[in-house]
Amino acid sequence: MPEMELQPDETLVEEWHPRFSVFLRKLIFVAFVTSLFLGGIGSWFGGGLYWLAGLPLAMACYVLIFDDYTEWMRHRKDIWQLTNQRLIFQNGLNGQASADVALTDIRQVKLSMWWALKLGLSNGQTTVMKFLPGRENVRTAITAARARCLETANG
């Protein structure tokens, strides 16, 4: 995969890769909420056994029927690189699917659910960084790098 080249005055600060354990956490959370819903409805018809049976059933539905596993397959080789000037995305499965954004164009970095970060950009678009471990640390690193970049630009 061709890597995006850094500019002469640009340095790599951090690099992040998705982790399967974070994807699994998402899958369990969604299955848990679904099974609670199914258990709530099922309790009207005969008790808590519906909840217990609903958890593996909900996980199987999300993995097999709703193609949740393909989401992991699409994102498992993503690479996110933070430099002192940009945030760079590279899809490890498709070298052509690369993009970058200047740190000064990032308006907000928000935690989204328990498995993602949502970036709000100055042009009104958003992008999602999925399945990264330590997403609070990722948010802190991006926010700090952005602040340094803005200081330098306004310097």
* CATH fold for the domain made of 12-18+79-154: PH-domain like (2.30.29)
Structure tokens at 124: 């009104």
Cβ–Cβ < 8 Å for 130, 18 = yes
Q: Tokens 């928000």 — which residue?
A: 110
Q: Is residue 53 over pLDDT 60? A: yes
Which range among 35-39, 68-72, 118-122 shows the weakest confidence by mean pLDDT?
A: 35-39
Cβ–Cβ < 8 Å for 7, 85 = yes
Cβ–Cβ < 8 Å for 118, 106 = no
Q: What is the pLDDT of residue 3?
A: 61
Segment 24-29 shows an average pLDDT of 82
Segment 60-71 shows an average pLDDT of 67
Domain ranges, ordered by start, for the chain: 12-18+79-154, 22-72
